[in-house]
């Protein structure tokens, strides 16, 4: 994936990652209501995502069914890598240290990280 997905486009992608294929109307119905988007707004976002080659569509009668071409896990991995590269020189430790210094890590987070590290060492 070469082009960045905007926050608005990401909301549409989350809907399609959750369930697909969907029509534009079905996507619009599943986008969180607090967004207040019309079906036309969703269609515009779907068009942008098609242009970025992150979703595809197929005709079914007079409507289109949309589905993601990028897996959610792959997208998250790429965005995580970009964040670490851009802000922390590609290293995880400074990211975790930054979060810890800002009290953004809970005791539950620490326990989960310790368990993950233990599993990785095994």
37: Cα separation from own chain's centroid: 19
Average pLDDT of span 90-113: 90
Residue 1 confidence (pLDDT) above 70: no
The model's confidence at residue 3, banded by pLDDT at 50, 70 and 90, is confident
Q: Both tokens of residue 5?
A: 């997905």
Report how far residue 13's alpha carbon sits from residue 54's, in angstroms, rounded to the nearest whole number: 9
Tens digits of per-residue pLDDT, 43-62? 999 999 999 999 999 999 99
Average pLDDT over all residues of the chain = 94
The model's confidence at residue 41, banded by pLDDT at 50, 70 and 90, is very high
């Amino acid at each position: 994936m070469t082009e960045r997905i905007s926050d608005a486009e990401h909301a549409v992608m989350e809907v399609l990652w959750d369930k697909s294929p969907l029509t534009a109307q079905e996507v619009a119905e599943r986008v969180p209501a607090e967004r207040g988007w019309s079906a036309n707004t969703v269609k515009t976002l779907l068009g942008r995502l098609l242009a970025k080659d992150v979703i595809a569509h197929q005709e079914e009668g007079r409507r289109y069914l949309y589905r993601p071409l990028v897996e959610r896990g792959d997208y998250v991995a790429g965005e995580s890598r970009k964040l670490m590269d851009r802000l922390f020189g590609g290293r995880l430790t400074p990211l975790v240290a930054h979060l810890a210094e800002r009290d953004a890590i809970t005791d539950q987070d620490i326990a989960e990280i310790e368990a993950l590290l233990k599993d990785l060492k095994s």
